[in-house]
Amino acid sequence: MRPPTFCVWCATLGLALVAGCAPSLDWRELTVEGSGASALFPCRPENRVRQVNLAGMSVQMHLASCTAGGFNFALSHLDVGDPVRAEQALEQLQLITAANMGGTPTAIGPCNVPGMTPSPRARRLAVKGVRDDGSPVEAEAIYFSRGAVVYQATLVGGHLDKEAADTFFASLKTE
Protein backbone atom coordinates (compact mmCIF):
# COMPACT_ATOMS: atom_id res chain seq x y z
CA MET A 1 0.00 0.00 0.00
CA ARG A 2 1.29 3.46 -0.89
CA PRO A 3 1.55 6.22 1.70
CA PRO A 4 -1.37 8.73 1.64
CA THR A 5 0.91 11.67 0.72
CA PHE A 6 1.95 9.84 -2.45
CA CYS A 7 -1.73 9.38 -3.41
CA VAL A 8 -2.45 13.06 -2.74
CA TRP A 9 0.56 14.01 -4.84
CA CYS A 10 -0.66 11.76 -7.72
CA ALA A 11 -4.17 13.21 -7.54
CA THR A 12 -2.79 16.77 -7.54
CA LEU A 13 -0.56 16.00 -10.53
CA GLY A 14 -3.49 14.43 -12.39
CA LEU A 15 -5.67 17.50 -11.82
CA ALA A 16 -2.85 19.78 -12.95
CA LEU A 17 -2.42 17.78 -16.15
CA VAL A 18 -6.15 17.86 -16.90
CA ALA A 19 -6.29 21.60 -16.20
CA GLY A 20 -3.29 22.10 -18.48
CA CYS A 21 -5.17 20.43 -21.32
CA ALA A 22 -8.33 22.49 -20.78
CA PRO A 23 -8.84 25.19 -23.43
CA SER A 24 -8.35 28.73 -22.19
CA LEU A 25 -11.23 29.95 -24.34
CA ASP A 26 -14.71 28.44 -24.18
CA TRP A 27 -15.81 28.53 -27.84
CA ARG A 28 -19.51 28.47 -28.81
CA GLU A 29 -21.20 29.16 -32.12
CA LEU A 30 -23.39 32.25 -32.12
CA THR A 31 -25.49 33.81 -34.85
CA VAL A 32 -25.11 37.56 -34.60
CA GLU A 33 -28.58 39.10 -34.43
CA GLY A 34 -29.70 40.63 -37.74
CA SER A 35 -26.36 39.98 -39.45
CA GLY A 36 -26.99 36.82 -41.45
CA ALA A 37 -23.62 35.62 -40.11
CA SER A 38 -22.37 33.32 -37.41
CA ALA A 39 -19.03 32.69 -35.72
CA LEU A 40 -17.45 30.92 -32.80
CA PHE A 41 -17.05 33.33 -29.89
CA PRO A 42 -15.25 32.47 -26.63
CA CYS A 43 -17.63 34.72 -24.68
CA ARG A 44 -21.15 36.17 -24.97
CA PRO A 45 -20.95 39.29 -27.16
CA GLU A 46 -22.74 42.53 -26.39
CA ASN A 47 -24.53 44.22 -29.29
CA ARG A 48 -24.16 47.91 -30.16
CA VAL A 49 -25.23 50.12 -33.05
CA ARG A 50 -23.64 53.37 -34.21
CA GLN A 51 -23.82 55.66 -37.23
CA VAL A 52 -20.76 55.73 -39.48
CA ASN A 53 -19.92 57.47 -42.74
CA LEU A 54 -18.83 54.88 -45.26
CA ALA A 55 -19.01 54.46 -49.02
CA GLY A 56 -20.29 58.02 -49.37
CA MET A 57 -23.25 57.59 -47.04
CA SER A 58 -24.24 57.47 -43.39
CA VAL A 59 -25.12 53.90 -42.35
CA GLN A 60 -25.76 51.99 -39.15
CA MET A 61 -22.92 49.72 -38.09
CA HIS A 62 -24.01 46.80 -35.90
CA LEU A 63 -21.27 45.45 -33.64
CA ALA A 64 -21.20 42.29 -31.54
CA SER A 65 -18.11 42.13 -29.31
CA CYS A 66 -16.76 40.56 -26.15
CA THR A 67 -13.48 40.13 -24.29
CA ALA A 68 -11.93 36.83 -23.23
CA GLY A 69 -8.38 35.73 -22.51
CA GLY A 70 -7.14 39.30 -22.85
CA PHE A 71 -8.47 39.63 -26.40
CA ASN A 72 -11.43 41.50 -27.88
CA PHE A 73 -13.44 39.51 -30.42
CA ALA A 74 -15.81 41.49 -32.66
CA LEU A 75 -18.03 40.97 -35.66
CA SER A 76 -19.61 44.03 -37.25
CA HIS A 77 -21.89 44.38 -40.22
CA LEU A 78 -23.53 47.19 -42.15
CA ASP A 79 -25.79 47.41 -45.15
CA VAL A 80 -24.56 49.90 -47.75
CA GLY A 81 -27.66 49.35 -49.93
CA ASP A 82 -25.82 48.43 -53.14
CA PRO A 83 -23.28 45.66 -53.86
CA VAL A 84 -21.19 48.15 -55.89
CA ARG A 85 -20.77 50.30 -52.75
CA ALA A 86 -19.73 47.20 -50.80
CA GLU A 87 -16.37 47.14 -52.61
CA GLN A 88 -15.64 50.73 -51.62
CA ALA A 89 -16.80 50.09 -48.06
CA LEU A 90 -14.49 47.07 -47.71
CA GLU A 91 -11.51 49.19 -48.68
CA GLN A 92 -12.50 52.07 -46.39
CA LEU A 93 -12.99 49.76 -43.39
CA GLN A 94 -9.49 48.37 -43.85
CA LEU A 95 -7.98 51.86 -43.90
CA ILE A 96 -10.03 52.95 -40.86
CA THR A 97 -8.84 49.96 -38.82
CA ALA A 98 -5.20 50.80 -39.51
CA ALA A 99 -5.72 54.52 -38.83
CA ASN A 100 -7.51 53.84 -35.51
CA MET A 101 -4.52 51.80 -34.35
CA GLY A 102 -1.88 54.16 -35.71
CA GLY A 103 -0.40 51.32 -37.75
CA THR A 104 0.04 50.03 -41.26
CA PRO A 105 -1.98 47.05 -42.48
CA THR A 106 -0.14 43.95 -43.64
CA ALA A 107 -1.99 41.53 -45.89
CA ILE A 108 -2.07 38.00 -44.51
CA GLY A 109 -4.04 36.77 -47.48
CA PRO A 110 -7.46 36.52 -49.05
CA CYS A 111 -10.40 35.20 -47.09
CA ASN A 112 -13.00 32.70 -48.13
CA VAL A 113 -16.02 32.85 -45.82
CA PRO A 114 -18.80 30.40 -46.78
CA GLY A 115 -21.65 32.37 -48.36
CA MET A 116 -19.66 35.54 -49.05
CA THR A 117 -19.65 37.42 -52.35
CA PRO A 118 -16.27 36.84 -54.05
CA SER A 119 -14.21 40.02 -54.08
CA PRO A 120 -10.54 41.00 -54.50
CA ARG A 121 -11.04 43.35 -51.52
CA ALA A 122 -12.14 40.52 -49.23
CA ARG A 123 -8.99 39.80 -47.24
CA ARG A 124 -7.33 39.09 -43.93
CA LEU A 125 -5.07 41.81 -42.58
CA ALA A 126 -2.82 42.30 -39.57
CA VAL A 127 -2.09 45.68 -37.97
CA LYS A 128 0.42 46.53 -35.25
CA GLY A 129 -0.09 49.83 -33.49
CA VAL A 130 -0.01 51.69 -30.20
CA ARG A 131 -2.81 52.34 -27.72
CA ASP A 132 -3.49 55.80 -26.30
CA ASP A 133 -1.44 54.87 -23.22
CA GLY A 134 1.57 53.96 -25.39
CA SER A 135 1.28 50.20 -24.98
CA PRO A 136 1.50 48.00 -28.08
CA VAL A 137 -1.64 46.59 -29.65
CA GLU A 138 -2.09 44.05 -32.43
CA ALA A 139 -5.13 43.23 -34.50
CA GLU A 140 -6.10 40.78 -37.16
CA ALA A 141 -9.24 41.33 -39.17
CA ILE A 142 -11.17 39.76 -41.99
CA TYR A 143 -13.24 41.91 -44.35
CA PHE A 144 -15.87 40.44 -46.64
CA SER A 145 -19.36 41.10 -48.02
CA ARG A 146 -22.50 39.33 -49.05
CA GLY A 147 -24.41 41.41 -51.55
CA ALA A 148 -24.72 44.89 -50.06
CA VAL A 149 -23.90 43.79 -46.48
CA VAL A 150 -20.29 44.38 -45.45
CA TYR A 151 -18.67 42.47 -42.56
CA GLN A 152 -15.59 43.01 -40.45
CA ALA A 153 -14.42 40.36 -37.96
CA THR A 154 -11.64 41.55 -35.66
CA LEU A 155 -9.42 40.16 -32.92
CA VAL A 156 -7.48 42.73 -30.90
CA GLY A 157 -5.00 42.30 -28.06
CA GLY A 158 -1.58 43.29 -26.74
CA HIS A 159 -0.05 40.28 -28.50
CA LEU A 160 -2.25 38.07 -30.65
CA ASP A 161 -2.82 34.38 -30.20
CA LYS A 162 -2.59 32.80 -33.66
CA GLU A 163 -4.67 29.78 -32.60
CA ALA A 164 -7.48 32.02 -31.28
CA ALA A 165 -7.39 34.13 -34.45
CA ASP A 166 -7.48 31.08 -36.71
CA THR A 167 -10.35 29.51 -34.72
CA PHE A 168 -12.42 32.72 -34.77
CA PHE A 169 -11.88 33.52 -38.45
CA ALA A 170 -12.25 29.95 -39.71
CA SER A 171 -15.66 29.70 -38.01
CA LEU A 172 -17.20 32.65 -39.89
CA LYS A 173 -20.04 31.95 -42.28
CA THR A 174 -22.98 33.79 -43.80
CA GLU A 175 -26.46 32.44 -44.42
Amino acid 25: pLDDT: 84
Amino acid 132: pLDDT: 86
Question: 148 pLDDT band (50/70/90 cuts)?
Answer: very high
Checking if the pLDDT of 159 tops 60, the result is yes
Q: How many whole angstroms separate alpha carbon 49 and alpha carbon 32?
A: 13
Residue 140, CA distances (Å) to 62, 92, 129, 153, 163 in order:
19, 16, 11, 8, 12
- What is the model's pTM? 0.83
Q: pLDDT (tens digit, 9 = 90+) per residue, 67-104? A: 999 999 999 999 999 999 999 999 999 999 999 888 88
Report yes or no: 120 and 152 within 8 Å, Cβ to Cβ.
Answer: no
Backbone angles phi, psi at 132, to 5 degrees: -60, -30
Amino acid 7: pLDDT: 35
Checking if the pLDDT of 1 tops 60, the result is no
Amino acid at 164: A
Q: pLDDT (tens digit, 9 = 90+) per residue, 8-62? A: 333 333 333 333 333 568 899 999 888 899 999 999 999 999 999 987 889 999 9
Q: What is the mean pLDDT of residues 118-141?
A: 93
Q: What is the mean pLDDT of residues 135-153?
A: 96
Checking if the pLDDT of 140 tops 80, the result is yes
Pairing of strands 136-146, 57-68: unpaired
Amino acid 54: pLDDT: 86
